[in-house]
Amino acid sequence: MAVARVTRVISSSKKGFQDATDDAIRRASKTLRGLTGGEIVAQKVKIEKGKITEYRVEIDIMFILD
């Protein structure tokens, strides 16, 4: 039997949502072991002078506890 935990990670990118998501997973994998999945909880943008300047994602990352 395995026990999993969920941690919420928030990431941003000037390129797009995919880049922000990739960065969140890449960063989480540096300190968390046994990543098994994720769920995008929210996607948001920062707007300045009528233009999108930053893409933000909130992702719940699941991993198996040792």
- The answer to whether the CB of 40 falls within 8 A of the CB of 61 is no
Pairing outcome for strands 51-64 and 4-13:
antiparallel
Q: List the CATH number of the domain containing 16.
A: 3.30.1660.10
> How many C-beta neighbours within 10 Å does residue 52 have?
11
Buried b (16+ CB within 10 A) or exposed e, 9-39: bebebeeebeebbebbeeebeeebeeeeebe
pTM: 0.87
The share of the chain scoring above pLDDT 90, in percent, equals 95
How many domains, the chain?
1
Compute the average pLDDT of residues 36-65: 97
| Full residue range of the structural domain in which residue 49 is found | 4-64
